[in-house]
A and B are shown apart, each in its own frame.
Chain A
Amino acid sequence: MSVVLKLSLISQIFYTEQMQKIRIIALENKKYGIIAELHKMGVLDIRKSSLQLNDDKALPNIQIISEELIKIRSALTFLDKPKNIVEINKMEHKSLEEVLNLSNNTKPLVNRIFSLVESKRSFLEENNEINNNLKNISLFIGTGINLKKIKSESLEFFAIIVNNKKNLRILHALKSASVNYENIIKKINKNTTLFFIIFDKRDKQKIENIINNYADERIELNDKLFDDYPENIIKKLNIRKVEIKKQVNKINNELQDISKKEYHHIAAILEMIEIEYERSKIPENFKKTEKTFIIEGWVPIKKVNKLMSVLENLTNGDYYFEEIKTNELAPTLLNRPSIFKPFDYLMGFYSLPRSDEIDPTWIFIFSFMIFYGLMISDIGYGILSLIIALLIMKKVSKEGLVYNVSKIWALSSIPVIIFGLLSNQVFGYSLSILNSIQIINWNRNIPSIIVFTVLVGVFYVILGQILSFFNKYKHHEKKLAVSKLISIVTIITGTVAIAGFLFHSFSIALSETSAITALITFEITAILSGKEASELTNLISHPLSFTRILGFGLASIIIASLIDKAFTPTLSSFSIVNVLIFIVLLIILLILHILNVIVGMFEGIVQGARLNLVEFFSKFYIGNGIKFKPYSEKRQYTYAQKYNKNKARVKK
């Protein structure tokens, strides 16, 4: 029994959630109830059935729901989410009828929102038009032009802006054209002049030709607006602008008031409508017969019984449940404690594990934290990186790259502190009280550390080959599986030979025997590997790649020591200048250490992930798993009506 338990535990750690493909057949009149309950449970990844039957359709009320959805969703976009609300009074999601009733009751409010938004849009449009008119009319200040007085049946006018260099030419052209005109000229700036030309309508064509030749810009004047002297019009327009501003402010205030009072209520209704919409649409993935419908999908094996119990209760036993035997690849569901979820995010850099292969995430988590800790290994830096990570986590949203990476930094600061203790490093300093527990000396034990990192690399490459053996064996690639096992002999004997010849760690006889064995097993591995033989050179390069742990660790510690040497403040005597210098040096010291920590945090995460994903995973990992996407509802403002379990009975 205990062996079974242990195996089950190993399976839970090294394999993703076990999945079962199922088929449910039930009566048409139970469809909505079953859909709603599946939606609430969120355990079934619904897939289109391969049965040769007719496709089912969306529920008939989808049109009404869709219209309500668009209406409420667009109304909500015009409201601001209230800030500093600690508790939301959640609404109970009872039935579709009630949701539609609630939506209908909000009609006056929604219409009011739309009407306010429409008024605001119209005011803002008017304001833009006024701004354009103001820009044009301000050109005429001081000209004394009043279009109301000029306007007549026989006269017309043009206003143009011309480069100063063309002034004489345009005047000459007007004179030479023998037309009746009057013009008012106003210098706008150093380079341009405004020409306002009043002319007889009969000469319009001639004037227009001249203007087309010389005008740099033609000003379109709204003659309905231009019914007074420019100064008076500007005054009137500015008064109107103030009125518009007041109106817009009033509208904004009312919208803010609605947001404050009604945002959560409308958001709750929207949430319920969205859920109802998803429920109405999902049957498009079903198949149907005259009186029944068929659902197929993947469910975690441990949820099968619960699912059957719910179906039993809903249908009073009138349903058919089938566990489908298939070679199809099951979706991947990673089921880890939430504290380690960010590592799944980092794993996503590579790809999701397939459901039928070893899930190496736990090894990844363990080794990543060790590599990260070794690369920074400083108690002070560990504490500082923890503070930085927690500060970032407080500032950013809980979803996304930055939050997840910060959580990894926060967790990984623990090994940084542990390795800091073991290497006696506090902001680049060594403390005498920690001498007794110091086992790593980065400055003096470089040869030992380089050998240690290579051995870590050898260990990971061997572990990768072992996991690859299991993967290949499981996928019935026995020849390749054997080659993986033989390659382990190559790695071990090769390492002994190199250590013996280069560092004289072993006797000549053992070194020579190991070298010969390594060469023979390498040949056998190459023959058995077939196409994968080209990757065998990685068996040598990948362990060496682990020396980067020493490289980055050493760099971080040397930089910390240099910062200390250059900027550690000392206070020889208490004078104002000395105290000021002390404070400034202390600030510089702190800033430089923070920068070194930030560089270390980025390098640590990139190199730690890289050693796992490139050097380790490439040995065995297949990846490209299909993510388990259960049909589930997401609620923030509402809660689902409680499901009555009293009648639940299990029958298979």
Chain B
Amino acid sequence: MKKLIIKTIFFCSILGGGYFLLVDQLSKGYVDMTYQKFTQEAGSLIIGLSRADLGIDPETIEDHIPEETFNGPLINFASNQYNFGETYFKAIKRKLNTAPGKRIFIITVSPGSFTAPMGFGYKGIAAMDSKTGIGKTKDFTSNPNYSYIMNCYGNGLYTALIENRDWDNLTAHNNGWNEISLESKSTPIGKTLMGDWKRQNLAYYHRQLSQLEIKPYRKEWFVKTIEFLKSEGSVYLVRMPVDREILNFENQSWKEFNSYIRGVALEKNIPYFDYSQEGGKFATYDGSHLYSETAKEFSTQLAKDILRNGWTTEAYEP
């Protein structure tokens, strides 16, 4: 028995040690496209789905709104599964640093942010959300973030030993922004590919229409999120630019979307910047998402509009 215990402890030690070495090694390089959103405390946040994830560059915003005028850093904490809900709400709370006030919160909205599978009630949606990355980890700020890798990294750790990249068009920045470049070795994105992806996206959205529906749960937590963030700083609601076909689809699927958002903005006394008609000005690479250059242009426009909307540039004193 003694021999078995010694052997088991020896075996488990190698297993545990090897595991932590690999996790540590992975954390030193590229992990995945959301890891960088979990490795620092944030003073201010960009919130929303993938359009905000790819389309708003915190650094460009900070170039226009001086960092010393607000509680920074500004982190892009948006991703494609982060719909409004209790899970996202709690993650946002945990993500913020403890310094008081004067924060910027850019909340991007689209009909997709308010959807969940048909037939799902409150508990069902909450349970579904809790299985996403923001629900599985409790640590949103450590660097390296072992908790994220251990709970959310959905791949083998062999990737720690090789050059690990999802896609060489993508650059994951430390501030959470995921930048898409049109130029790359593997997939140079030209007009034909853009057209194909746009068609595929549109077809995908149409298919989703029969599976998803707008949920009161999402609306409820959207309002709760605004209320909480308003108590912490200045909140701006933003609808991102998309191509005309995608916009038409969204407007047909939820005709009162803009009036709903306007109503919430009015009730909560916060600005609503609707750029949805400006798809011609800010081009996307797939009908829905901005790429590197247009994301920077859009972020510049957004920063200017925030300033124009009465953002005071007095130095921030915590």
A is bound by B: no
Report which B residues bind A (CB closer than 8 A).
none
Taking Cβ atoms with an 8 Å cutoff, the residues of A that contact B are: none
